[in-house]
Structure 1
Amino acid sequence: MTKNISSDEDVYLKVDREIGTIFINRPHKRNALSYRMWETLIALVDDCEQNPDVKVIILRSTTDTAFSAGSDIAEFPKIRSTKSGAIKYNDISLKLEEKIGKCLKPSISMIRGFCVGGGCEIAVACDFRFSDTSGVFGITPAKLGLVYNTPGTKNLIDLVGPSKAKDILFSGRLLPASEALAIGLIDRIIDASKLEAETYEYAEMLCKNAQLSIRGSKQIMNEIRNGAVKDSDEITELVLDSFTSADYHEGVAAFLEKRKPKFTYS
């Protein structure tokens, strides 16, 4: 049964079958993100991170026309026209990207339609991006006279490489889903009629696996992306502790007994 954890008019969270789904719900503005929506998204990702009933996070839209067309530009003259305002606004978007990236629970963006600007930033920060053929992708500071931030640029480079990142940022052009897949910006294109089912099937598969392994892997990958080339003391301890964990013993026993494991770490 679906449990509605937190909701408002524009963004809300539901938890069902160990999956926390964060819905962006502003269809009349192609899910353009207001400052308050950025704040709410941060709070909801934090809710998922702290909730032991959530193993995987999915971010999606309530409309077929847009995942998110980006930040609400109508707010810019009021709250992003001065350096202090720009710092405040940039900090809120950076905080969400960092929250998603550092959260050890896997995250998936399920994308239909426009995924542009801040919307694309959010998708890039997630672990996986699944789209149907209607997906349209772009990051457009060059169309607005803005400069994109370092963490967001690094996330983009990590996905598509420096040359393709330059193309996306310098041109500000919009990429169809087919090109986004070809350059590694998204992970899968799924038929529109199957996108929701296959996204949730994948999330459910992750839920059934050992969370200790998944979260440990993500922690190590985050350290590698930040320059690590060998195990830190913390990672060494994490790896060694896994061999004495209940989930390790359950995984080995299930393999030997030719049955599906029942992991308990949450």
Structure 2
Amino acid sequence: MTDATREFVRLEVADGVATMRLDRPKMNALNVQVQEEIRAAAHEATERDDVKAVVVWGGERVFAAGADVKEMADMSYTDMVKRSGGLQSAFSAVARIPKPVVAAVNGYALGGGCELALCADIRIAADDATLGQPEILLGIIPGAGGTQRLTRLVGPSRAKDLIFTGRFVAADEALAIGLVDRVVPAAEVYDTALAWAGQFSNAASYAVRAAKETIDRGLEVDLETGLEIERQQFAALFATEDRAIGMQSFVEQGPGKAAFVAR
């Protein structure tokens, strides 16, 4: 599935940064079609060598106000048994992009929208943004990773407060509890996210990939196993051309001047 065949999710690439742009009026409701287009865009961003980092953005008005409740309301238990795995894996495709990913959050990021933002490595939010997991108010729980990723990000007590109550969180509280990493004026959200992602356009891509995989996989295991993952990834980078370039440049010119080649 390419941009030519995707209706609601585009992948726009410039200067090494891909913008995964959600555009399903009016509120970017995440129906099954959008979920699958997110998966396809994530896979494309993963495979493209010209993509060094990714910005996930829903536009200036709204990030994503949640799942398509009208679509879900007609689904039975057996329907959701069939679909729930696909829902989770579509979002996990974003989390597993082996490159830096930043969510640029304007307006609402609720339910599935919040869960999509949680799949990014960092979140930059507008000062008037609103986040939350209000699924409990529909008689369900988050089903696209919210109970797991939110808990790992903000801790179990805060995650339980947000999920049990379904309450909305303003940008200042989201920053205070670690749900977002930076709050900026609404008009600056996308440009700020783009600038953060742009740092990696000429980075040592395989080292960045190894760092992301080591951190993410390490969170899933005990300390000793995590240290072994780190050791293996660390040693493996000595097989890359960028490692040789980076060390030679450091010795000859000092830090920050290496011209990496992503090999």
Q: Structures share a fold, TM > 0.5? A: yes
**Counterpart residue number, 2:24:** 26
8 Å Cα contact 1:6/1:13 also seen in 2: no
Report whether the alignment pairs 1:83 with 2:77: yes
Secondary structure of the residue aligned to 1:65 is coil
Structure 2 counterparts to residues 147-186 of structure 1, below 5 A: 147-149=141-143, 151-186=145-180
The root-mean-square deviation of aligned C-alpha atoms, in Å, is 2.0
Q: What displacement does 1:243 show?
A: 2.5
Question: Which residue in the other structure is 1:105 paired with?
Answer: 99
The offset of 1:234, in angstroms, is 6.2
CA distance in 1 between counterparts of 2:70 and 2:169 reads 24
Q: Residue 12 of structure 2 aligns to which amino acid in structure 1?
A: K
1:128 and 2:122 matched:
yes
Aligned to 1:67: 63
The reply to whether residue 51 of structure 1 matches residue 44 of structure 2 is no
Q: 1:163 to 1:199 in 2, by over 3 A?
A: same
SS, match of residue 200 in structure 2 = helix
Worse-matched range after superposition: 100-109 or 160-169 = 100-109
Task: Report the identity percentage.
Answer: 27
Match of 1:262 among 243, 259, 262: 259
Alpha-carbon deviation of 1:160? 0.5
Distance 1:109 1:103, change over 3 A: same
Change in Cα spacing, 1:185 to 1:7, as seen in structure 2 (3 Å) is: farther
User: Residues 165 and 124 of structure 1: is their aligned pair in 2 closer, same or farther, counting only changes over 3 Å?
Assistant: same
CA distance in 2, matches of 1:242, 1:11: 34
- Structure 2: gaps (5+ residues): none
The correspondence for 2:201, drawn from 190, 207, 222, is 207
Residue 253 (structure 1) aligned with residue 251 (structure 2): no
Contact kept in structure 1, 2:38 and 2:91, CA below 8 Å: no
**Size of the alignment, in residue pairs?**
259
Once residues 32 and 53 of structure 1 are traced to their aligned partners in structure 2, the CA distance between those partners, rounded to angstroms, is 29
The equivalent residue for 2:237 is 242
Greater alpha carbon shift after TM alignment, 205-214 vs 51-60: 205-214
User: TM-score with structure 1 length normalisation?
Assistant: 0.90
- Point out where structure 1 has 5 or more consecutive residues left out of the alignment: none
Displacement over 4 Å in runs of 4+: 4-7, 231-235
Greater Cα offset, 131-140 or 4-13 = 4-13
Q: Cα offset for 1:161?
A: 0.4
Alignment partners' CA distance in 1, 2:131 and 2:204: 33
Greater displacement, 90-99 / 48-57: 90-99
1:116-154: per-residue Cα shift (whole Å, max 9, x none)?
Answer: 000000001111111111210011121000133484312
Distance (Å, rounded) in 2 between the aligned partners of 1:15 and 1:69: 25
- Whole-Å separation in 1 of the counterparts to 2:95 and 2:43: 12
Q: Pick the aligned partner of 2:218 from 215, 218, 224.
A: 224
- Which of 189, 195, 211 aligns to 1:195? It is 189
SS in 1 for 2:56: strand
- Counterpart-to-counterpart distance in 1, 2:236 and 2:66: 42
Question: Is the contact between residue 32 and residue 69 of structure 1 (CA under 8 Å) also seen in structure 2?
Answer: yes
Distance in 2 between residues matched to 1:6 and 1:22, nearest whole Å: 14
1:241–1:9 distance in 2 versus 1, CA, 3 Å: closer
Judged with a 3 Å threshold, the aligned counterparts in structure 2 of structure 1 residues 137 and 150 are, in CA distance, closer, same or farther, namely closer
Q: Is the 8 A contact 2:3 2:9 kept in 1?
A: no
